[in-house]
Structure 1
């Protein structure tokens, strides 16, 4: 079977788990080239990976020797790069979020849908084994009727993180803790409990940080079945803890904490699935395994081959970004 030919665009922090995953999937993909306009980024990347490299981003997007591109650049650049990729007839795996505003995000989704090409978004928390197991339990109505649910992201980022040029500014990243960090857990939460409506919200920049956007946000939500829910996210919780999802049903309760799952049923049964290790909630933002990326990429490759949407399609990512927009609007941001 012919391997899918890949071009990587953007060699910042986000590239490492992608590059490692693509190496693992060498029987299915060929990385034709990795591109960055920064010579320093190219040099740093070359110390860790042996893929061919270039500074010619436009050439990668236009090349007939490439079937799909990984766009791992800052959010404000996504729309234009995706447009060029679609013009060059390339499938796109896009780093989250889609873009810095909902209008630009929607333009990406509609443009790729209209092109007939595959669009996937890197929201890899859906592919944690514990999350997949809970998804299966819920699909079988294993918890019964959901009575309430909550989602908490108690992460930490030092001020040095926000002192980097453009970090969590509206112009480059489009937002703070919700769009840049908590979007992973919010997307997973929404995929498990379904769409929801925000009834009240608050957001703030705490005294812990000097930054343009929010480092704390909380919301009260109403699930589709009328059940109440709570969302809270911050990067001011030193030294950073595991993100947590709790779903209370008529038959039992499930807790996702980081990469681990515990389910307790009213009839006395219990199920525990543990995955020890960091999840990127502290100062080292890339301190997590690349396994979840590999599973997401595998699904994306399968979607191209089978002519279907990936699990995290553009439309799915847009719904999660719309939820973030609703929280911030309710909070007056």
Structure 2
């Protein structure tokens, strides 16, 4: 199998699990350029990873050997960088969230469609083994009809996290706990059980000095009409794994981080062990890169096979629209 040429744009903290994944996938993917604005950060990155680095994005995009670009910039730069990639004929994988707002995300999705290029989004929790098994159980109706479901994200971020320039601001991040931290769990939850309505919601800045919300909760109507809920915060010291619970007429499934426990009414049980930590506390990158690797592999397969990736731009846009509906119901601008 010939390798797919890729470029990476952005060398902030989010680049670490991607770079480790790309090392693992070196038999399938050739990283031809890693682009950053800071020569110092690029030099530090090059000390850790065996990829060529540059500050010249135009050079990377003009390289005919580059078929796709992984965009790891702050959210507000996704649209501009991705449109430049599409104009150069490249497929794009962007870090979450899709963009600062659903409206800008719609422009990004439309740009990919107009260019005939593939667009994927890094919402890697869908690739955890426990999540995959839970999806299969739901597809098989092994839990019966979903009677209720909820998702809880009791994470912790110290004030020093939000004291970093731009953290938790609309201009840089587009939002607070929902769009920056809880988006992974909520995206997985939405993809599993669907959300048809936000019935009530509340959002607030409760503990941190920051522009956006560090707490949000909502009562939901699921895709099949059953009741559901979401609660997310970055104030729950020291931080615990995010949790999805789905109550069915034949059993109950609990997904805590990557660990799945299923209890069936007939007495059977099933468990899938977690692959590692989740970044729920102050060490924000304290998690394994396995799910990133699987998501990037799926994106490479999508590019090679002419199909959409599992987490497409349209899928990520639906999740971002849900987050905005929660905030709107909570009276947030």
* DSSP 3-state at the match of 1:170: coil
Task: Find the counterpart in structure 2 of residue 238 from structure 1.
Answer: 237
Contiguous gaps of at least 5 residues in structure 1: none
CA distance in 1, matches of 2:254, 2:122: 23
CA distance in 2, matches of 1:205, 1:195: 25
Q: Which residue of 1 aligns with 2:204?
A: 204
Q: How many residues align?
A: 332
Q: Distance in 1 between matches of 2:195 and 2:312?
A: 15
Superimposed CA distance per residue, residues 49-99 of structure 1 (whole angstroms, 9 cap, x where no aligned partner): 121000112322333231110000000001110110000000101000011
* Contact kept in structure 2, 1:64 and 1:88, CA below 8 Å: no
Shift of 1:46: 1.6
Does 1:265 find its partner at 2:264? yes
Preserved contact between residue 242 and residue 258 of structure 1 (Cα < 8 Å): yes
Structure-2 separation of matches of 1:161 and 1:250: 42
- SS across alignment from 2:92: strand
In the alignment, which residue of structure 1 is the partner of 2:53? Answer: 53
Q: How big is the shift at 1:3?
A: 0.8
2-side partners of 1:95 and 1:63: how far apart? 22
Structure 2 CA distance for partners of 1:195 and 1:58, relative to 1, 3 Å: farther
The aligned runs of 1:122-201 (5 Å cut-off) are 122-201=122-201
**2: CA distance between counterparts of 1:127 and 1:235?**
24
Q: Higher mean Cα deviation, 322-331 or 53-62?
A: 53-62
For residues 322 and 62 of structure 1, what CA distance do their matches in structure 2 show? 34
The 1-side partners of 2:31 and 2:275 are apart by 31
Deviation at 1:306, TM superposition (A): 1.4
Post-superposition shift, 1:276?
A: 5.4
**Where in structure 2 are there 5+ consecutive unaligned residues?**
none
**Counterpart contact for 2:275–2:288, Cα < 8 Å:** no
Partner of 1:18: 18
Alignment of 1:287-326 (within 5 A): 287-326=286-325
Instruction: Check whether the contact 1:105–1:318 (CA below 8 A) recurs between aligned residues.
Output: yes
**What is the CA distance between 1:228 and its match in structure 2?**
0.3
Contact residue 195 and residue 220 of structure 2 kept, 8 A:
no
Please give the TM-score of this superposition, normalised by the length of structure 1.
0.98
Deviates more, 1:268-277 or 1:119-128: 268-277
The separation in 2 between residues aligned to 1:59 and 1:86, in whole angstroms, is: 15
1:116: how far off?
1.1
User: C-alpha separation between the residues in 2 aligned to 1:89 and 1:292?
Assistant: 27
Residues 5, 31 of structure 2: 8 Å contact kept: yes
Q: How many angstroms does 1:47 deviate by?
A: 2.0
Q: Quote the residue 2:217 is aligned against.
A: 218
> Given the two structures, how large is their TM-score scaled by the length of structure 2?
0.98
SS at match of 1:255: strand
Alpha carbons 1:203, 1:216 under 8 Å: kept: yes
4+ long deviations beyond 6 Å: none
* Whole-angstrom CA distance in 1 between matches of 2:291 and 2:321: 24
1:89 aligns with 2:89: yes
3-state secondary structure, aligned to 1:280: coil
